[in-house]
Structure 1
Amino acid sequence: MHSTVKNLLDIKDTIKVKLNKINIKNYPKIIAVSKTFKIDQISPLIDYGHKDFGENKVQEAVEKWTEIKKINPELQLHMIGKLQTNKVKFAVKLFDYIHSVDSEKLAKKIADEQNKINKNIKIFLQVNIGDENQKSGINKNELKSLVNYCIEINLDLIGLMCIPPANIDPEVYFEEMKNLNKSLGLTELSMGMSSDFIIAAKYESTFIRVGSSIFGQRS
């Protein structure tokens, strides 16, 4: 068994054991964050049958995934990095999920581009849950207005996404995200990375984004 597949299965087992202890039966989907990794490192996971992969940069994803997705149409590709409006038309063609929508301008551009090719991408709104100046994401006080706008322009809005502040216990942020998501009537929640996915799963994250724990450290 390839090491990446073994790592993925270990993560799934860890989540199951920890969540069973606190009586949670819904396990999150794992997005294997494959940014910067070459396709020969990713192929064993595809061959094993893993479906969800995450990329941060549109250009890299287009070069890496365009042909592979033609051969494996069941693969689900997640855009998890900051998305510039000038890259939206390329992103819309390739990705199935966008996790980083944080403005009306970006939402409108996605809606326009997907209408042109008759595609319906699943959308997460990125919330700047720690109010950090250097981070992307919408301020939680402006969230309701953006949610309403996305509904108005017929985006398939499925949930919220966050990256909590580094080096602080993320628990309080994950709990707040869970409550925000519920209050808006959204069903999916994208939070948790290699360092904190167990805590995220405890707060009902439905998608966790794991890179280094599957693929090893990036060079």
Structure 2
Amino acid sequence: MKRLVVMLVVFSLSQSTKAQENHTKDTVENKSLVSYLKEGEISGHIRNYFLMTENNHGNDYYANAIGGVLSYETKSYKGFQLGVSGIFTYKLFSSDLNKPYDQTNKSSRWEQELFDVNHKDNFKDLDRLEELYIKYHWKNSYVTYGKIPVEYTPLLNKSDGRMKPFAFQGAWLHHKDEKLQADVAWIHRVSPRSMTEWFSMEEAIGLTDNGYLPNGEKAAYEGTTHSQGLAMFIWEKRSII
């Protein structure tokens, strides 16, 4: 991941210079595939998150994390685009997040979600390949495959409330015209929020707190629920005003 981030930064600096030099030379008619790659769009953001839990009796927890996202997407070439995105997180400072809370004998929960809940001793250089996809689009529609950005839906979305949101791998078809908007998706791998690893859909079910059964017993369904993936269809009729 470090090499990916460095390559994207170097690529952006070098290609922005080359794009300016070649701007007067290229026209729409003679643009090659290489020139479209050079003129791709690089974007990103830096995020800082401070979170604190104050308990009336027992341990208090706090943590400050900093990180960001760096993304690159090519320009459209005969309808096709490629995209890649990487995310990283570091701890600036925190209390001892692994110290058990006096009343429950459990450590911090919310502050740990700023880092990696599966590796609670790792607080630096938490990298993840967020996106790596190919997209084909026409008019206001597109189809994409790989580690993909997703449209917001009530059922499936990034839930971007920590340093790392949910990330998804699969296929997504988005169609939009004057009469309707429809989305069809098949998701077979996921990297849950506050984690750095990728899991099959079957492995991902039950990774975190499983909740409780109606009789009050703690549920434990990790490894017992079988799934090949998540299929989703959304259809919305559009009214013309």
TM above 0.5: no
Q: TM-score normalised to the size of structure 1?
A: 0.24
Specify which structure has the higher proportion of helix.
1
Q: Which has the larger radius of gyration?
A: 2
Give the structure, 1 or 2, with the largest relative contact order (CA under 8 Å, sep 6 or more): 1
